[in-house]
Amino acid sequence: MRWPLLFCSLVLAAGVAFTRGASSAPPATAPRTLDDYRHFRIASIDLLGRMPTRGEVATFERADFDFDRWIEGHLQGPAYVERLTRIYMDLLRLEPNLNFSPAPAQLFRHEVLQDDGKSVYVYYRQNQRRAEPSIDGEFCFAPDETGVVIRPNAPSVGATPKALPKKLLEARTVLVHPWWLYRDYRSPHPLQRFGESWKDPDPQYRPVETLLNEADGKPTIAVHVCREEAQTQDLGHVHTSGRLKNAPADEKLPGGRSKPPPIDKPFALQHKGEPISCDTRSALENSIDCGCGVGLERCIPNDGNGATNAFYFPNKMPLGPGQPLDLVKQRAERWYPYWWSREAVHFLDDLFEKDRDFRQILVGRQSFVNGPLAQFYKTMQRTSCCGPETAFGMNEELAPLFEPQNVPIDLMPHDVETWRMVPDRGPRAAGILTTPMFLQKYATARARGAVLYNAFLCKSFAAENAQLTPSTEPNLMKRPGCQTCHATLEPLAAYFARIEPSSTVFLPATNFPAVSAACRKDKSGKLNGNCNALYDVAFADDKGATLRSAYGSIAHADAAATGAGQDITKMPEFAECAVQRVASSFLGRPTNADDAPLLTALDKEFVASGFRMKTLVRGIIRSSEYRKANNMTSAPAADAGAK
């Protein structure tokens, strides 16, 4: 049961209880001390998520009130789940202040003039390869045809737009019923349009009005899409244009374009004509027959020519998405990060609601997806890859952290309120550590290692009081002044060496050995080819190089995030830290030496129970320390200023 529903039912229950109390003979009451009332109040705050109502206080006063039973009942409730999730969200802060905008996934649009004098929006991708040199890598109409030079993320240049002949518009564009507009966009003849025949979209699915209407304000029935972007096949082919060098600076550019058409990249020359997955970054850069898929489902729309709006969703929802405080037009590049955060919350909620082994937080392979996340994991996440990785034979993600085939197939991109558990994301999944939210929030291997150390082992890095002297030692585990922290941090960071920074792209050992003989220092001391992007020149010689962030521990780099989860959860400090975090939160103060007997007892019970949080919380709430943790003393203090 989610919060709003529960909230209403609790209020209703409170009202009923009060009504009963008011209309019938008062039930037998038990004498309660002020401490009893305060214990009940703090337990209500922790397990109900709010202060007790009068009706609940009256129930508590009854002689037959069973506090243990009351605690058990509320350990099953959503308020308990939210309380525990809050502890770890406060620690990890898994909400995005970031964008996700890989070029192959972003559909922009430009308004063009038709020869009947009306304007129409045409959707396109930046850098889309096309056969015609005048429009290759650009909008699908050349400046000579539209009268303006279209610039990404900037106003177009040119005062007098030209009208496009109808035939040219029809030749270069295709009318598509896109996913954001049609519930049944996969049907050959979609009919269920948002706001019309599609009657019951999820209330939280709200495209911005500008995606629903044409420039003249009339409802959009279908969208014009550049022909290349409208293609639907999964596989394309590597295309070469025959251009190997940039045109001379004084040469007139075709179609009035402002920059020369792209030249063939080494990858294209090497793989000419070979099949290529359309879900990849290299497909956008190297093929002309890869588009956005059926109903444009591999792309997300922008309502303009740059980072513009796509959907409404809240910025502020302190009590959860069911009780938002606002609803704001948001940029397309924020759509998936918003859902990544919700995925993390669902993951944690499930852990506490089902009372799973708490070690799952770092080793669990399960997760939760809704429609947008299903779309993301099936296609969008793959568009982050691959650039320099292609030089190592990885043209598309070979070993994703979330295997696309494990995504539920029946979730539509609009199913924002339907959450499904995915029992197994794949062999590289490691609890919260391999979720996009964690990996983007903690963008570098060191940041990931540090948060692991702090949040799950309750340890922090404190620099020694040493003077830092100039040093050329690249190994921070040895460099004076740095080694105190980095001797611990670098091996932790190494667990994340195979997950690229600010990304979820996994570098498998088959193509990216932790120490690669294929990457070597040349005579000038630089790494050859594309090695510099992925291997560390500071840990290279003429025989090989070490994968970035792996030098702290090659074994950890090969164990990857799953190894981190397993190693950390085996440490006794993991359970001790969980006990300390939760106890401190429920006691409302940092734990101290006087709490050692309590913490030891709780830790023993927690581990014996198989790392079950309910056992831990039950133990805390029934403890005398919790009862005494109340701010108020047992004797009522005189009110301030009393005479």
In angstroms, the CA 429 to CA 395 distance is: 22
Q: How many other CB atoms are found less than 10 A from the CB of residue 146?
A: 24
Shorter beta-carbon distance to other proteins: residue 131 or 325: 325
The answer, yes or no, to whether the previous bond of 577 is cis (omega within 30 of 0) is no
Q: Tell me how far the alpha carbon of residue 117 is from its chain's centroid.
A: 44
Shorter beta-carbon distance to other proteins: residue 40 or 574: 40
- Smallest gap from residue 319 Cβ to other proteins (A): 6
- Smallest gap from residue 93 Cβ to other proteins (A): 4
Residue 572's beta-bridge partner residues? none
In angstroms, the CA 370 to CA 377 distance is: 10
- Smallest gap from residue 510 Cβ to other proteins (A): 37
Nearest to 103 by CA among 234, 365, 298: 298
Report the Cα–Cα distance between both ends of the chain, in Å, rounded: 50
Q: What residues line the site for other proteins (CB under 8 A)? A: 4, 7-8, 10-12, 14-15, 18-19, 22-23, 33-34, 37-38, 40-42, 44-45, 49-54, 57, 82, 86, 89-90, 93-97, 316, 318-319, 323-326, 341, 588-589, 592, 594, 629-632, 636-639, 642-643
Phi-psi region of 400 (alpha: psi -120 to 50; beta: other; left: phi over 0): beta
Shorter beta-carbon distance to other proteins: residue 345 or 578: 345
In angstroms, the CA 633 to CA 33 distance is: 12
Shorter beta-carbon distance to other proteins: residue 53 or 286: 53
- Smallest gap from residue 251 Cβ to other proteins (A): 49
Structure tokens at 339: 């859902």
Nearest to 268 by CA among 291, 238, 235: 238
In angstroms, the CA 540 to CA 11 distance is: 66
Q: Mapping DSSP to helix (H, G, I), strand (E, B) and coil, where does residue 540 land?
A: strand
Shorter beta-carbon distance to other proteins: residue 9 or 600: 9
H/E element, 176 = strand 173-176
Place of tokens 């295997």: 403
Shorter beta-carbon distance to other proteins: residue 7 or 574: 7
Shorter beta-carbon distance to other proteins: residue 153 or 315: 315
- Smallest gap from residue 95 Cβ to other proteins (A): 4
In angstroms, the CA 480 to CA 39 distance is: 52
- Smallest gap from residue 492 Cβ to other proteins (A): 21
- Smallest gap from residue 631 Cβ to other proteins (A): 4
- Smallest gap from residue 44 Cβ to other proteins (A): 8
- Smallest gap from residue 584 Cβ to other proteins (A): 11
Q: Mapping DSSP to helix (H, G, I), strand (E, B) and coil, where does residue 614 land?
A: helix
In angstroms, the CA 184 to CA 428 distance is: 34
Shorter beta-carbon distance to other proteins: residue 33 or 472: 33
- Smallest gap from residue 588 Cβ to other proteins (A): 4
The letter for the amino acid at 7 is: F
Shorter beta-carbon distance to other proteins: residue 202 or 605: 202
Shorter beta-carbon distance to other proteins: residue 173 or 580: 580
Q: Are 84 and 347 in contact (CB under 8 A)?
A: no
- Give the count of alpha carbons within 13 A of 113, CB side only: 12
H/E element, 331 = strand 328-331
